[in-house]
Amino acid sequence: MTDKVRVRFAPSPTGFLHIGGLRTALYNELLAKQTGGSFILRIEDTDQTRLVEGGIENIVRTMKMMGLEANEGVYLDNKDQIAERGDYGPYLQTKRKDKHTAYAKQLIEMDKAYYCFCSAERLEDLRHEQQTAGKPTMYDGKCRATPREEAEKRIANGEKYVIRLKLPKQGRITAWDVIRDDISFDWSLIDDQIIIKSDGLPTYHLAATCDDHDMEITHVIRGEDWLPSLPKHLFIFESFGWTAPKYAHLPLLLNADHSKLSKRQNDVAVEDYLNKGYLPQAIINFVALLGWNPTGDRELYSHEELILMFDLAKVNKAGAVFNLEKLDWINEHYLRSIPEDEYLALTHPYIKDLNSDQNFVDRAALLVRDRVTLPSQVAELVSTILKETVDYSQANIAWKTQPKEQAVERLEAVKKLLSDIDESSFAKREARVEHEQRIKKMIMDKGWGNGDTLWPLRVALSGQDKSPSPFELLEVLGKERSLKRLEAAISHLST
């Protein structure tokens, strides 16, 4: 047995990587990275009827985009083909079918499992009967008592069968979970789980448990929905005399109304968030906090910090509410803190069609950086700044109850002041500060108010009640455009 941490993310490719899966993958990765252990990607594809075309590729590719690459298991090679690496393969679960079948046979031999011949109709009738009687619906154990020789004869005669675990029917089992501590289960409420289906394929329960043993997994970190299955998994470990890994069941993810996170209320595929322009580092930061906060006094953590601070035992038991506003807030933070060229590269797909020189467009994009949550939102703001003629019909150029004539007076004065500044001063780095100083000095000298001068100026430049500051606008628009807009605003006020 290894003393190195070995953890696995074991998604079923029945869909694309979703937010919950990403959190599971992340917590596994954090523990592996923190301890210098191995992070394994095992694909649990035994339920062939539910496989989604492109699911495996999506999971692997999305994990890579999020900076979560497994160092062992399934990956995409440089031709984008599904490949495997590591000493514990295969990592595509269906390829391990023979091992699973052999384990199931061993369980039968140890009398820890049995053949069951009950037809789908019988099971349906049974379920119906139990439902009407208000009892829990579960297998009644009819085939438990069938002697093995008889069962083997029936199989030899071509009868269809499944293999079920022969679980205890009385007493309790107490399991230990890193997050939840001791949890006790009543055996009488646990169904004799099917481990081999009638098509000969193993179910998740057998496959995952045996693979976890064979791959020497030390910690199983997975969603809370698997908690009810834990006794069955421990039963398998115990039957074989294997040491079980440590288990940690992560809290459920909830919609704002505390129902289970669903597609109906939120996007759940990680790809959807990436396509909308959420940054990988923001998504990682956000997802890490779904059920855990390293220090409790802040919300922003880099991936490196998360690795250093991760503590599985401190993960919450209670469900974690998926709060989109928090994701937006985190994304705004990262969008503002990445280098300018990275930010611009993100905005380019949205502003490439704007008919203006790139330098001008980029300056406008930088100007609105503090006002956007997603790069796509830059387009509208930038095009407002860049358009040749400004429409003042929806804007209030005059401030509050300010008479139009006064607004005109202020704008004329600023226009005069700006006309006297030469073109090259507008292009200087310090232009913004200089404009601000000059204009504020003029306001003081004349004994005017900031509001009654700067409001009309800002709206004259932007055509909008809400916009970046007039000094920022002056810097981006430059002398000629700024003067043209002031004239247009003056003439709008004068009509």
Interface stretch with ligand GLU, choices 7-15, 103-111, 126-134, 165-173 (CB under 6 A): 7-15
Size of the site for ligand GLU (CB under 6 A): 8
Is the CB of 59 or the CB of 411 nearer to ligand GLU?
59
> Diameter of the chain by CA atoms?
107
Phi/psi of residue 465, nearest 5 degrees? -65, -30
Cα separation, 489 vs 411, whole angstroms: 8
- Tokens for 146, please give them: 């069938």
> With binding defined as CB under 6 A, does residue 222 bind ligand GLU?
yes
Amino acid at 194: I
Amino acid at 186: D
- Tokens for 177, please give them: 């979970």
- Tokens for 450, please give them: 């900031």
Is the CB of 15 or the CB of 294 nearer to ligand GLU?
15
Is the CB of 11 or the CB of 375 nearer to ligand GLU?
11
Q: Which of residues 42-61 bind ligand GLU (CB under 6 A)?
A: 44
Query: Taken in order 355, 357, 362, 368, is the CA torsion positive or negative?
Result: negative
**Shortest spacing between CB 202 and ligand GLU, in angstroms:** 12
The correct pick among 5, 6, 11, 285 for binding ligand GLU (CB under 6 A) is: 11
**Shortest spacing between CB 143 and ligand GLU, in angstroms:** 27
CA-to-CA separations, 85 to 61, 72, 88, 152, 405, in angstroms, rounded: 16, 6, 9, 39, 76
Strand ranges inside 206-245, DSSP E: 219-223
DSSP 182: E
Interface stretch with ligand GLU, choices 9-17, 163-171, 181-189, 303-311 (CB under 6 A): 9-17
Strand-pair partners of 82: 76
The correct pick among 5, 10, 40, 116 for binding ligand GLU (CB under 6 A) is: 10
Residue numbers annotated as active site: 263
Is the CB of 46 or the CB of 402 nearer to ligand GLU?
46
Is the CB of 25 or the CB of 283 nearer to ligand GLU?
25
Interface stretch with ligand GLU, choices 4-12, 70-78, 269-277, 301-309 (CB under 6 A): 4-12
**Shortest spacing between CB 183 and ligand GLU, in angstroms:** 16
> With binding defined as CB under 6 A, does residue 12 bind ligand GLU?
yes
Interface stretch with ligand GLU, choices 10-18, 51-59, 109-117, 348-356 (CB under 6 A): 10-18
Is the CB of 11 or the CB of 73 nearer to ligand GLU?
11
Q: Which of residues 151-210 bind ligand GLU (CB under 6 A)?
A: 204, 208
CB 316 within 8 A of CB 292: yes
Query: Which strands sit side by side in the sheet containing 6-9, from one edge to the other?
Result: 82-85, 72-76, 38-41, 6-9, 219-223, 246-250, 172-177, 181-186
Amino acid at 381: L
Peptide bond into 349 cis (omega under 30): no
**Under the rule (CB under 6 A), what is the footprint of ligand GLU?**
10-12, 44, 204, 208, 222, 226
